[in-house]
Structure 1
Amino acid sequence: MTQNHVSGMEASAVSVLKRAVELDQGGRFQESLVCYQEGIQLLLDALKAVKDDPKKVHYRAKIKGYMERAEQIKVHVNQLKEDGKYHEQIKIPEDATGYSYGMLFKPYISGALSEVWVEDPYIRHIHQLYNFLRFCEMLLKAACQVKTIHLLTSQDEVESGQQTIALAEVKQSLQAQGVSLDLQYSSTIHDREIRFDNGWIIKIGRGLDYFKKPKGRFSLGYCDYDLRQCQETTVDIFHTKHTKTL
């Protein structure tokens, strides 16, 4: 392994662990835990390639400290979950980037996840239907075994045909991947909520529709939602041992 490669791993580890500490200090414990785990693994990989003994001692001490903090957070989070008191809040600022569905939902997705409920009245217009499709794609690429996605939304009174055709295509496409889409409509739905059967509940003020329209079809962020500017919104995350169905 080249020195440049080792330096690159060190830089990556520092960046991830810095983010972990920031999230930790901000009370975003579940997210910080994911970053601590990623950063520790990067440090462990770098340690294997380090030849300098004093540096090895330094690395081991750092890894030990981060592992102890990660374990403390894990115990704290598990206790809050057990007591039904877990609540975390993320404020997405106006024009912020880096909040794709993958980045936002990753800390709450686990291998045990198999069923998802999406309650969002605004999966109607073309860009909103694409949002839902991207959310489904994110789930299929994630480290989980999603088999059923439930969608409760309202029907587009003006262009219901377009909505019906689009969601039927999403359903058929998911079915080809072994995932079932359970679609229901409600004329009184108002709240926006996403629930995972591993107990996590994510409430986004704007639902899945928190991205701004890209400046053009060839502007950064048109394809990659991590580069897409967001509208200001608040995300509240809860945990319950009993995930209700819609």
Structure 2
Amino acid sequence: MSQNNLPGIEVSAISVLKRAVELDQSSRFQESLICYQEGIQLLMDVLKAVKDDSKKVHYREKIKGYMARAEQIKEHVNRAKEEGKYHEQIRISNNATGYSFETLFRPYTQDGLTEVWVEDPYVRHVHQLYNFLRFCEMLVKLPSKVQKIHLLTSQDEDSSSQQASAFEDIKQSLQSHGVAMDVQYSSTIHDREIRFDNGWIIKIGRGLDYFKKPKARFSIGYCDYDLRECHETTVDVFHSKHTKTK
């Protein structure tokens, strides 16, 4: 890394670690752990590049402190997971941004994720079908190589052909990426839940449909969901050592 790039890397490290501390203080430990790890790596890159000995000492101390906290969080999370007591709650306020599927789910996809179960009664209308498609796209991009996606939803009697056609298109497209998908319908489904076979269980009050309609087709946030405003909702995250399938 050249000296010219050093200030930018340092600013990025500070920003990521500041976010890690904020998440840590909010008891969003799994998310904070990811940020601590990313920030520490950036600081290590800075440490390798600096020439001033006093700065090297400063960065080593910072890295040591952040690593110690990250290890404490890791031990806490692992212990809670083993005891089946892990619970984290994320409150998304009205009009909040920064909660794309990638941002929200990424911290829980690290541990060998291969199979996903989605239970959501409202994957029927066009915008809901697109939400599910974007969720699938997020899964396809993961390094953990998801192999199967299960969807349990309600059937739209008014436009079932559109719903069935969309699911068939998604299914065929996923197959080209080595991912199998099956869809089942239930007329009594009410709860919204996403389960990962690495043990994480995510319950979102509004299911996948927590994004607001964009103000216009060519408005910021139409394509990038991190910039899309959200409805108010609550996300509860649990961990079960062995995910139970239904």
CA contact (8 A) 2:199 2:242 kept: yes
Partners in 2 of 1:36 and 1:22 — Cα distance?
A: 11
- Alignment pair present for 1:215 and 2:215: yes
- Superposition TM-score, scaled by structure 1 size: 0.99
Superposition pairs of residues 24-103 of structure 1, within 5 angstroms:
24-103=24-103
- Alignment pair present for 1:233 and 2:233: yes
- Alignment pair present for 1:107 and 2:110: no
Match for 1:32: what amino acid? S
- List per-residue Cα deviations over 1:46-74 (Å, max 9, x = no partner): 11110111000000000000001000100
Q: State the partner residue of 1:21.
A: 21
Partners in 1 of 2:5 and 2:53 — Cα distance?
A: 19
Q: Hey, which bits of structure 1, 4+ residues long, moved more than 3 A?
A: 1-4
Partners in 1 of 2:139 and 2:114 — Cα distance?
A: 10
Partners in 2 of 1:218 and 1:41 — Cα distance?
A: 37
SS at match of 1:207: coil
Percent of aligned positions that are identical = 75
Match for 2:25: what amino acid? Q
- Superposition TM-score, scaled by structure 2 size: 0.99
1:164, distance to aligned residue in structure 2 (A):
0.4
Q: State the partner residue of 1:118.
A: 118
Match for 1:190: what amino acid? H
CA contact (8 A) 1:111 1:145 kept: no
Superposition pairs of residues 154-233 of structure 1, within 5 angstroms:
154-233=154-233
SS at match of 2:151: strand
- List per-residue Cα deviations over 1:16-74 (Å, max 9, x = no partner): 00010111111111000000000000000111110111000000000000001000100
SS at match of 2:85: coil
1:111, distance to aligned residue in structure 2 (A):
4.8
- List per-residue Cα deviations over 1:162-200 (Å, max 9, x = no partner): 000000000000011110001100000000000000000
CA contact (8 A) 1:111 1:143 kept: no
1:134, distance to aligned residue in structure 2 (A):
0.2
Q: What is the RMSD computed on CA atoms of the aligned residues?
A: 0.8
Structure 2 runs not aligned, ≥5 long: none
Q: State the partner residue of 1:244.
A: 244
Partners in 2 of 1:211 and 1:100 — Cα distance?
A: 9
More deviation, 211-220/140-149: 140-149
